[in-house]
Structures are given as structure tokens and as C-alpha cells.
């Protein structure tokens, strides 16, 4: 599951650029059809085979921490993930790279997540889940520290890969630990909520280029001569809410004020 999520994250920057000109409803429709094409045949095959749960239920290991403490740690990990990748990766890259490079830089994190998922599977029988979860969290924290402090452009992708490995380890073991608090099949809703913590939060920067103005008009009429009458209108515009004409005359920049102040 985490490998599939990592693969989707790796192709998302390129795929998003390709789908940008299309109707937003089309990607949602295609993803829904793909999910239905995957799930419905599996459900039909399970019913046809008459598969049933084993009569003997395995005893789940005891949770390592009280439930409130464990889920507070998960919340902290979720916030760290959002800050490290969704909110911090692109701005940090753009300080050293051009926007056109993001389509190959952003997948570096998900490449690490895929590697961390493979390592989590390889260590499943050797090390306890809580130990691997803690190790992954520490690796991700070290990567975030490196990513935030380095001034070397080449180290930024490396830090993202290292952080991805840490998050991949922690995420895989978080699912295993969560099932100890609510064994299957009752844990389906809880695991679905846990998976949503990795959902990307789109950045939003409000921009308002609207310039409101007041318009004042004065009609003037004068009889210049016996046979000539002049009709004129004097019009004046003023920036709404302003006490001077800097927005029109650009005097603010002439006096040396920085943009936006």
C-alpha cells in the first residue's frame, strides 16, 4: 500500500502538469473508475471462493503505549510530514533551482518513501514495530534538520530522500501498531483515517490585484460669446481609501519606499 502511494507521489508532479489544462472532474472520474476496476473483481472473487475468516483468532500483541499517547505521536508525525514536504519542499528548492526543475526534484521524497517501505518489510521479523517506528521518526527528524539548515543545493534532494526513508519506515509500522489497539476487521475505519494523514495539503497564496477608485465628475457650461456656448466635464479619479495620489503618480517609489510598504 505504501509502495503504491509512493509511486503515485513520484508521478504526481508530471501528471499534474499534463492534466492541468483539462476539466478537474476528469481526473476524479478516472481515479474512481480505476479504483472500482481494482476493488470490484477482488470482491467478486472473494465471494465466489467463499473465503471466510479463520476460526482461530491470533492474539494481538499488547500495545506499547496508551492509546492517547500513541495517537498524539501520530498527530505530531502528521504535522511534521506536512511541514517537511508539502509546505517546505517546493519553497526551499526554488531558492536554488528553477521552477522547471521541480518535476524531478519533488519525487525525491517519494523515492525515499518507497525505499523505507521496502526496508520496513525486510525488518518485520527482526526488529519490533515500535523500534522501527521510532527509528524512522528519528531519521525523518534528522533529515528535516539537514533540509532546513543546509545551504548546499545538492544536499536538498538528498535530505528529501533521507526524510522519505524515515517516513516510509514510520508509516508502515504505524499501521502495524494501530492494529494492536483495534484488531481487524474493526480497525478498517481507523486505518483509513491513519492513511489520510499523508494526504497532500495544497498551498494557497491569496492574491488581490483589484484597485478600487472613486470618480468625481463636474459638468461646466459657459456662454463664451453670443453665438458660442461651451459645455465641458471635468473628471477626477482617486484611489479608494488613499489620502494621497502615490498609487497614480508612483511617488512612493521615487521617495525610496520598498514595494508593498
| Same domain for 176 and 80 | yes
* pLDDT score recorded for residue 261: 45
| Same domain for 142 and 88 | yes
249 assigned to some structural domain: yes
- 86, with CB counted inside 10 A (0-12, 13-18, 19+), is middle
Which of these, 129, 132, 123, 127, lies nearest to 181 by C-alpha position? 129
| DSSP string of 220-239, one letter each residue | EEEE-SSS-EEEEEEEEEEE
37 assigned to some structural domain: no
Helices (H), the chain: 2-19, 25-49, 67-81, 89-94, 102-105, 107-122, 129-149, 155-181, 188-195, 246-249, 251-254
Domain count, the chain: 2
| Same domain for 177 and 235 | no
Which of these, 89, 221, 192, lies nearest to 144 by C-alpha position? 89
Torsional sign, CA 125, 128, 134, 135: negative
In a structure prediction context, what are the per-residue pLDDT tens digits for the chain, which is 261 residues long? 566 666 666 666 666 666 667 666 776 677 677 767 766 776 777 677 655 544 445 555 677 777 788 778 878 887 888 888 878 888 888 888 888 888 788 888 888 888 888 888 888 788 888 888 888 889 988 998 999 888 888 899 999 999 889 888 888 888 777 777 766 555 555 555 555 555 555 556 677 777 777 788 888 888 888 888 988 888 877 777 777 766 666 665 455 445 544
30 assigned to some structural domain: no
| Same domain for 147 and 74 | yes
* pLDDT score recorded for residue 197: 53
- 34, with CB counted inside 10 A (0-12, 13-18, 19+), is exposed
* pLDDT score recorded for residue 191: 57
| Same domain for 183 and 73 | yes
Q: Which of 196, 221, 242 is the last residue of a domain?
A: 196
50 assigned to some structural domain: no
**Taking the complete model, does pTM exceed 0.85, yes or no?**
no
| Same domain for 170 and 71 | yes
56 assigned to some structural domain: no
Structural domain boundaries enclosing 247: 213-254
Q: Which of 196, 221, 240 is the last residue of a domain?
A: 196
129 assigned to some structural domain: yes
| Same domain for 96 and 142 | yes
112 assigned to some structural domain: yes
- Cα(254)–Cα(10) distance, rounded to whole angstroms? 48
* Cα-based distances in Å from 249 to 84, 109, 261: 44, 48, 16
| Same domain for 243 and 136 | no
| Same domain for 230 and 127 | no
| Same domain for 183 and 69 | yes
| Same domain for 155 and 78 | yes
**Assigned C-alpha cell, 214:** 472613486
Long-range pairs for 49-55 at CB < 8 Å and ≥24 separation?
A: 53/185
38 assigned to some structural domain: no
| Same domain for 170 and 123 | yes
Amino acid at each position: 500500500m505504501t509502495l503504491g502511494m509512493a509511486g503515485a507521489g513520484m508521478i504526481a508532479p508530471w501528471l499534474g502538469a499534463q492534466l492541468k489544462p483539462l476539466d478537474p472532474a476528469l481526473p476524479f472520474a478516472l481515479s474512481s473508475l480505476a479504483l472500482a476496476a481494482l476493488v470490484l473483481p477482488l470482491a467478486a472473487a472473494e465471494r465466489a471462493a467463499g473465503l471466510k475468516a479463520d476460526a482461530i483468532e491470533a492474539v494481538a500483541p499488547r500495545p506499547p503505549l496508551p492509546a492517547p499517547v500513541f495517537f498524539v505521536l501520530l498527530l505530531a508525525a502528521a504535522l511534521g510530514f506536512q511541514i517537511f514536504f508539502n509546505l517546505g519542499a517546493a519553497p526551499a528548492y526554488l531558492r536554488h533551482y528553477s521552477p522547471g526543475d521541480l518535476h524531478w526534484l519533488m519525487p525525491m521524497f517519494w523515492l525515499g518513501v518507497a525505499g523505507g517501505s521496502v526496508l520496513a518489510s525486510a525488518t518485520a521479523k527482526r526488529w519490533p514495530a515500535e523500534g522501527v517506528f521510532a527509528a524512522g521518526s528519528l531519521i525523518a527528524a534528522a533529515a528535516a534538520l539537514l533540509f532546513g539548515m543546509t545551504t548546499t543545493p545538492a544536499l536538498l534532494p538528498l535530505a528529501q530522500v533521507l526524510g522519505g526513508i524515515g517516513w516510509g519506515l514510520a508509516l508502515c509500522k504505524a499501521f502495524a501498531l494501530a492494529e494492536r489497539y483495534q484488531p481487524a476487521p474493526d480497525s478498517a475505519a481507523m486505518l483509513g483515517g491513519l492513511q489520510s494523514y499523508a494526504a497532500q495539503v495544497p498551498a494557497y497564496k491569496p492574491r488581490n490585484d483589484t484597485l478600487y477608485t472613486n470618480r468625481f465628475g463636474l459638468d461646466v457650461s459657459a456662454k463664451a460669446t453670443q453665438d458660442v456656448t461651451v459645455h465641458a466635464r471635468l473628471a477626477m479619479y482617486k484611489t479608494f481609501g488613499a489620502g494621497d495620489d502615490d498609487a497614480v503618480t508612483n511617488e512612493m517609489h521615487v521617495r525610496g519606499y520598498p514595494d508593498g510598504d
